């Protein structure tokens, strides 16, 4: 049976890519698209009656089939609203939005105890495999290697550093037994003195239409290792989100699922 899909933020860069792939797929039925009041007219024009279009998720959900899964790539407050809207209704929700506060992430984790929720700051398989191998590199290189992260994104991106850079930073910090928020340095300006031993730089560049570049540096005595991931298009994130949506069908609540759970 095809999985019924609702895309929240369907007029956005990610939302449009997900809708296009879902419409071409034999595994999904695009049942609904939600976007802000100022965008629904544009979405309706693009969809030409292929699915329900609304600026009111709560209302749209009353008309959706039972086997519906939601995908949300919007903004933190909007995704929090989506999570509250699906809670108790049985529809799994896959969130790709980044920029949540620690408090919002805590709330999502709490809701995920009783409701099937999935969140990943990066849905690409490559980044998630990179996350898996980074702790081995950290341990093999040892404490003589300073670790830094640089990310580049298009000029429209609203949060900084990217959610992926922070996730990679957390992976590096965990492998050293540090807490990222205590050792993260995201701005260097003026007479800043020598770099402390316990520091991870997480820096951001913005410009043009760069989909996403993340580079992890290990800088040691006499040498440097750089591990880079370049996203060539938004399709790999969209495919990851659709794969997560299928994986969530029938899944029990219990934890805030993420890509590593799906890959395992």
Question: Where in the sequence numbering do the catalytic residues fall?
Answer: 153, 157
Residue 47 binds to ligand NAD (criterion: CB under 6 A)? no
Number of residues in the chain? 264
Interacting residues with ligand NAD between 111 and 130 (CB under 6 A): 120-123
Report CA-CA distances (Å) from 100 to 149, 163, 208, 214, 262: 20, 9, 24, 19, 22
Task: Please give the helix or strand (H or E) that residue 70 lies within, else none.
Answer: strand 68-72
Residue 54 binds to ligand NAD (criterion: CB under 6 A)? no
Q: What is the DSSP string of 183-203?
A: HEE----SS--SPPSS-EEEE
The dihedral built from the CA positions of residue 118, 121, 123 and 129, taken in this order, carries a sign that is negative
Least separation, in Å, of the C-beta of 75 and ligand NAD?
Answer: 6
- Angle, alpha carbons 26-28-30 (nearest 5°): 125
The region of 9-17, 107-115, 221-229, 245-253 touching ligand NAD under the rule CB under 6 A is 9-17
How many residues touch ligand NAD under the rule CB under 6 A: the total is: 24
Q: Return the residue of 9, 92, 116, 201 that touches ligand NAD, per CB under 6 A.
A: 9
Least separation, in Å, of the C-beta of 45 and ligand NAD?
Answer: 14
**String marking each residue 14-43 x if it binds ligand NAD according to CB under 6 A:** xx------------------xxx--x----
**Residues 102, 118: Cα–Cα separation, whole Å:** 16
Residues engaged in binding ligand NAD (CB under 6 A) = 8-9, 11-15, 34-36, 39, 73-75, 78, 96-99, 120-123, 237
């Amino acid at each position: 049976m095809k999985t019924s899909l609702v895309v929240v933020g369907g007029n956005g860069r990610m939302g449009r890519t997900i809708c296009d792939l879902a419409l071409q797929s034999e595994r999904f039925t695009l049942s609904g698209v939600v976007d802000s009041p100022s965008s629904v007219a544009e979405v309706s024009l693009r969809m030409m009656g292929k699915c329900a279009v609304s600026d009111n998720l709560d209302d749209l959900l009353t008309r959706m089939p039972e086997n519906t899964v939601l995908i949300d790539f919007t903004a933190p407050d909007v995704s929090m609203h989506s999570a509250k809207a699906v809670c108790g209704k049985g529809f799994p929700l896959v969130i790709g939005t980044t920029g949540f506060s620690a408090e919002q992430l805590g709330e999502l984790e709490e809701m995920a105890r009783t409701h099937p929720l999935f969140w990943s700051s990066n849905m690409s398989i490559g980044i998630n495999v990179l996350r898996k191998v980074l702790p081995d590199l950290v341990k093999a290189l040892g404490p003589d290697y300073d670790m830094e992260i640089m990310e580049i994104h298009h000029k429209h991106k609203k949060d900084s550093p990217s959610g992926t850079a922070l996730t990679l930073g957390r992976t590096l910090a965990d492998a050293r037994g540090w807490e990222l928020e205590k050792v993260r340095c995201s701005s260097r300006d003026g007479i800043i003195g020598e770099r402390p031993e316990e520091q991870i730089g997480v820096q951001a560049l913005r410009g043009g239409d760069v989909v996403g570049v993340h580079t992890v540096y290990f800088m040691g005595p006499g040498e440097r290792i750089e591990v880079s991931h370049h996203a060539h298009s938004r399709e790999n994130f969209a495919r990851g989100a659709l794969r997560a949506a299928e994986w969530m069908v029938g899944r029990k609540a219990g934890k805030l699922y993420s890509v590593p759970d799906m890959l395992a």
